[in-house]
Each structure stands twice: as C-alpha cells, then as structure tokens.
Structure 1
Amino acid sequence: MVIVVAANDGPTQPPTTTTRILVTGASGELGGALARAYARPGAHLSLWGRDPERLAAIGATCLAAGAKVDTRSLDIADVPAALEAARAEDAAAPFDIALLVAGLGETRGAGDLVESAELVRRLGTVNFTAPAAIGAALTERMATRRRGALVFIGSAAAFHALPFAAAYSGTKAGLARFAQALRLSLRPHGVSVTLVSPGFIDPAELHQNGKARPLALQPDHVAARIVRAVERRQAHLILPWPFALLRLFDRLLPAPLRDRLLLSLTPPA
C-alpha cells in the first residue's frame, strides 16, 4: 500500500493508508459500478476505459466521493500498450487491487454458419489474451511485495459450450482456467486471485422499464458482491446462484442430452 503523510505545522498526525486500485473497463456498466463501489477517502483509483466522456463522468463521481482518481483512455486490445501502462503505473504507485473488467460479448451474426475468423480473433484478444497478460504482469510485481489482489471478470457462459457463441464461451472458459492456475501459483506469495462468473448484467433503467433479462442483476449489486469477495479472498464468485446450479446440471447431464439442450438454445437464423 502507499502511505501518504500530510505535512502540517500543527501536532503530528497519524499516517493515512491509501489503497491503490486499478479498474479496467471503467467506462462500461460493471467497471463504472466497481469504480463507484471503491470510491471513498483513502482510495486512489486508476480508471481505464475506451469511452473518454463516460470515463470522465465516472472519474468526477469518484472524486466527489472523496477518492483520488487518475483516468486513462485506452483500449486493452492494444496489448503491448496496456502492458506498458500497467507496469508503469504499478512502478509509480503499486496497486493493491486490480480489477480486470473489460470484455466483449458478441456472438455469431444472424445468417452466419459459424463465427467469423475476425470475431474469434477480436474476442480472443479482449476476453483472454489482454486480461491474462495484464494479470500476469501485475501479479508478478505483487508477488515480490507479497501482497495484492487480482480480479478477473469471466462469465457463466464459460460453463457451457454455446453453439452460437463459441468464441465468447471459449475465451471465457480459457480465462477461468487461467485464473484458477494463476491463483494456485500465487497462493504461497500472499496474492489472491478471484474469478467472477456472472450471468446477465443489465443497467438499472432496463430493470425499471421491465425489460431486464431473466435472472439479470444490476451492475451496482454485482459490484458490491465483488467487493465482499475480494475482502474474503474468495477464489470463485458465481452469481446469481441459479447459475451455479446450471453449471452442475451441465456437468451431470449425459453428453447426448447436453448437446441437444445446447443446440435448442441457438437463436433462429
């Protein structure tokens, strides 16, 4: 952690402990909710996002809540630039918590027989390569300090072989396995790794208008659950809870029945 001592001419004041937090995808719904959840006096937030206007608005909200805020307009699809930024920021002021939120949820286009090669490449970069590489770079540094927490945002889709979303479910499954292996390798070094596997996340306005998807959660609720999971150093957070049952159901079904069920979920062409 960064210890900040305020200079003054009066009696000596106790040092203030500052928690340094990285949130990628902070201009998105969940990333913005996580930024707000951690925004308080004593927090120093580094907020990354692709949308400069939304990023500025989130940053202003966090400043008003008493946090110190830095923003960076960056697309993590540029993996070398993202790695350079992560290492430079951590060297300047070490991160205590890194929440790697950004991701793409695109699926096979209407009328397409399979997902395009370009879509597979793009999702592979944003959903797996970028967060895995950034996570590895940051936890290598955290491990030398013997403290820190890393959070990967996966998806409940990683539990199922979705025929219409092979790239999305596949990249999220890869991230889940990477998170599990990284967590085990870092356990002796005091660094925690939390994988979050949410179902649908819909903004508040959809819930208010009655247009939310089944079992969909609001971003602020998910963010609050993630904060608690990080505090507990929880290995895996699945939410809402019915998706944990669906994961078990998928594993227990005989393969022919599972294939038939998954094919039945494919949207009509």
Structure 2
Amino acid sequence: MNYLAVSFMFKGPHKKKVIITGASSGIGRELALLYGKAGHDLAITSRRKKVLEDIAKEIRSFNKGGKVILASLDVSESADNFKVLPKLAKDLGGVDLFIANAGISTNSSFGQKSFEADKKVIDTNLIGLMAGISALQPIFRDQKSGQIVGISSVASFRGLPGSASYSTSKAAVSTYLEALRGEVRQFGVKVTVIHPGFIDTPINQKLKSRPFLVSSEKGAQKIYNRIESGVRSATVPWFPWAMIGVLMRSLPEFLWEKIGPK
C-alpha cells in the first residue's frame, strides 16, 4: 500500500464548508441532513429561523463532528444576501460548496391579479440566487476553488402553462448558471445545475398531478450524489425526466399550447 493510500485512510474524506439556502424544508432540509450526516461544516438559512434551529439540533445529534450554524434569510431581499452569506462564510472559515436552493412557486395565472405573486417568484428563485452567488463571489475568487450549485427544475425545459413565472425563473436560473460556468472556471470554481422532476416537497404538494413522484429523501439523496460527483448538470431522477425533457423541447408549439390549464 503506497503512502497516499495510507494518508487518505487516516485523514478520511475532505471536510467541506457548505452553505445551503432554503434549508427549512423539502430538498434543502434533506440536503442539510445528508451533509450533516457526512460530518461536513454547515451553514443553513431560511426565512423560518425556529425550524432551522430544530434541524441544527437534529444534525448535532448525529455526533459527526461537523459545525452547524444558521441564520434567518429571505433571499428575495437582495441586500440581505450580501449581509448574511459572507458572515456565514467567515464563521465557517470559508466556503467550499454553496447550494442555492431557496425557491417558491405560485398558482396565479393570466386574468388574475397575479403580478405581485409572479414578481415574488422571480425575486426569490432568480434574483435571490444571483444575489447569493454574487455575495460569495469574492471568497470563491480569492481561494480559487469551490463549487456553486443551483437548483433549477424540469420546468425550465419549456414554458408550462399555469406556471409561467416559475418556468421563467427556472429557465433563467439554468441559463445564468450555464453562462457563469464559463466565467468562473478560470478561478478553479465548478458550477452544477440540478433539474429536479416531481420530488415530494411543499412547493408542489398542492398540485393536482405530480407524475413520477419520488420522496424528498430519495430525491435529495440522488441530488447529493450528483453534486458530490461534480456533474455540470443533471436531471433528477434521470429516468424518465431526461427523456421527457427531450420530448418537451421538441413538441411543436401548436401541440404544446393544448396542455394549458382547463
């Protein structure tokens, strides 16, 4: 057995410094638990601080030795990202992995008083993600390493009637991260974009139809695996959503518009 193998055996896996937004429920919560169980140092944020405190307590009960800190943050308040996230990174001693997960949806549609709800979706899902990444950008640039992960959606593949603002926000997230990847590679920073299908989380639990639904635990585990493998982009679960995505993109517009809400 060579020296490197012996050294790895004694040191164990690299402990990461991880920041997750929207960690109070759904995918964000499950990812926080997974990274906590792996013993990484964690900073978790959400609008619901009390819920975060309960999650932090659960993570500490694993006794894996990782640090857990938390902060209240509404990512739609752009300026707050620049106050909260750099401080969390400082308290962690840096940031190796930033998971921009916070997101909301709305059921508002054309003909309703939907602008404020639609604006909140864009401010949270897109502007909030961009603000969070921008707030941490100086740290990533200086340390010349790290990984940025954005949680998009299969809804980004095509404008879904009845979910115009949500589809728009997620399509923009995917495009933004694709462009960002080419900008940050010179600093040794990786960018991963995840496109979940229907994972059982509060954001979709009021929908009438959720085809190919998987549990939040199973979905988050698959997302965790994709993040840790360092993929550029991934559809989760891969089957059947990767194939459905191809169909969504290729379906003629006169057929696509027929799927609108009745």
Instruction: Say which is worse superposed, 134-143 or 121-130, in terms of deviation.
Output: 134-143
Aligned to 2:23: 26
Structure 1 residue identity aligned to 2:178: Q
Give the match's secondary structure for 1:39: helix
Identity %: 27
Query: Which 5+ residue runs of structure 1 have no aligned equivalent?
Result: 1-12
Aligned to 2:79: 80
TM-score scaled by length of structure 1: 0.83
Q: What displacement does 1:190 show? A: 1.3
CA RMSD of aligned residues (A): 2.6
**Distance (Å, rounded) in 1 between the aligned partners of 2:28 and 2:22:** 5
Q: What displacement does 1:127 show? A: 0.7
Q: What displacement does 1:14 show? A: 7.7
Aligned to 1:100: 100
Give the match's secondary structure for 2:102: coil
Give the match's secondary structure for 1:149: strand
Confirm or deny: 8 A CA contact 1:139 1:148 kept in the other structure: no
TM-score scaled by length of structure 2: 0.85
Structure 1 residue identity aligned to 2:98: A
Aligned to 1:165: 163
Question: Where do residues 46-125 of structure 1 align in structure 2 (5 Å cutoff)?
Answer: 46-65=43-62, 66=64, 67-92=66-91, 93-108=93-108, 113-114=111-112, 116-125=114-123
* CA displacement, residues 197-255 of structure 1 (integer Å, 9 cap, x when unaligned): 11111159xx9xxx993211212222222222222210111122222212211222222
Matched residues, number: 246
Confirm or deny: 8 A CA contact 2:73 2:84 kept in the other structure: no
**Distance (Å, rounded) in 2 between the aligned partners of 1:80 and 1:189:** 25
Confirm or deny: 8 A CA contact 2:200 2:216 kept in the other structure: yes
**Distance (Å, rounded) in 2 between the aligned partners of 1:248 and 1:225:** 21
Match of 1:234 among 210, 223, 231: 231
**Distance (Å, rounded) in 2 between the aligned partners of 1:203 and 1:238:** 17
Structure 2 residue identity aligned to 1:175: V
Structure 1 residue identity aligned to 2:67: K
**Distance (Å, rounded) in 2 between the aligned partners of 1:212 and 1:70:** 37
Confirm or deny: 8 A CA contact 2:37 2:59 kept in the other structure: yes
Query: Which 5+ residue runs of structure 2 have no aligned equivalent?
Result: 1-9
